[in-house]
Amino acid sequence: MEEKAYKSGFVALLGRPNAGKSTLLNYFLQQKIAAVSPRPQTTRRRQLGILTTEDMQIIFMDTPGVHRAVHKLGEYMNEEALATLEDADVLLWLFDLTEPMNEDDEILSENMQKVSKLPPVILLMNKVDLVTPVQAAQRQAEYQRLMPGAPIELISSKRGDGIPGLLKDVEELLPKGPHYYEEDQITDLYEREIAIDLIRAAALIHLRDEVPHEMAVRLEDYEDRSGKAAYISATLLVNRETHKGIVIGKEGAMLKTIGSEARKQIEELTGRKVFLELHVKVSKNWRDNPELLGKLGYVTRPQE
């Protein structure tokens, strides 16, 4: 009897901001590796999530939400996402069933149409647990027009509806391949990089309006203390002087709240005690400063 061929490949999670891509990645892996918040644009860079079974290894690529960019940071985020259109073996395009189609969905559709040889695409109608069957059918018909003929699956990235069937369909589309990563590896990011994202996600949860979207987190120090504890020092870079006062809050209350939330999330990730020290600094127009963006890890791809 012929032995079943091992399959492996790269699967991109694509969609508008806040479609549920990072939540879906965490569900696939059954642990939190990607920062999640109710606010759009929590994800600013590509992150790998590696699912290894006896039969396959799926390397999921969580991407920033594609949107109309208004600064260099936004351009970088779109580049990170759109590069997967040709890098991936399978594309999972997420739509939010609780929201009508918008410009961001059309921007991604337009970019997909420019790719000469697009990988197989599955349209994922996410948040099916939050809408009625009638609403789901109406939105499904609306989104299907962006890619007629592509298979559609109804899922809940938070609750897990439809995920087992989705994984089987993804396996069918994967090519034969090797173990790209060790079996116990689940992401390509180091703890310090994930900590940065978790700190910013905590700010997104507790701050209002545009303040958290105009914020960056710069890691100053990450010290592993005997494997049982970690000391982290980070600076929150804000775009305006008025934002600094909002982030700090009255008698430092808001900064303490953000730090407490972030510390809890980092401890859950690392399984050890975390000592977290946060500072706030004004860095005007940092989102359009190529040198600072590079130092923060947001490096644009060279144009061909």
| Residues across the chain | 304
Tokens of 218: 């710069």
The tens-digit pLDDT sequence of the chain (304 residues) is 456 789 999 999 999 998 999 999 999 999 888 888 777 778 888 899 999 999 999 999 999 999 998 899 999 999 999 999 989 999 999 999 999 999 999 999 999 999 999 999 999 999 999 999 999 999 999 999 999 999 999 999 999 999 999 999 999 999 999 999 999 999 988 888 889 999 999 998 998 877 878 899 999 999 988 778 999 999 999 999 999 999 999 999 999 999 999 999 999 888 889 999 999 999 999 999 999 999 988 876 554 4
Are 112 and 161 contained in the same domain? yes
The helix (run of H) or strand (run of E) holding residue 202 is: helix 191-206
DSSP category for residue 42: -
DSSP category for residue 159: T
Among 75, 42, 57, 53, which residue's Cα sits nearest to residue 8?
57
CB atoms within 10 A of CB 224: 13
User: Which residue range forms the structural domain that includes residue 128?
Assistant: 7-173
Angle formed by the axes of helices 241-248 and 253-270, nearest 10°: 70
CA–CA dist 175, 7 (Å, integer) = 6
Are 127 and 50 contained in the same domain? yes
pLDDT score for 1: 45
Are 120 and 248 contained in the same domain? no
DSSP category for residue 3: P
Residue 300 domain flag: no
Are 219 and 142 contained in the same domain? no
Give the domain CATH number at 77.
Answer: 3.40.50.300
β-sheet bridge partners, residue 229: 225, 273
CA–CA dist 188, 185 (Å, integer) = 8
Are 225 and 88 contained in the same domain? no
pLDDT score for 300: 63
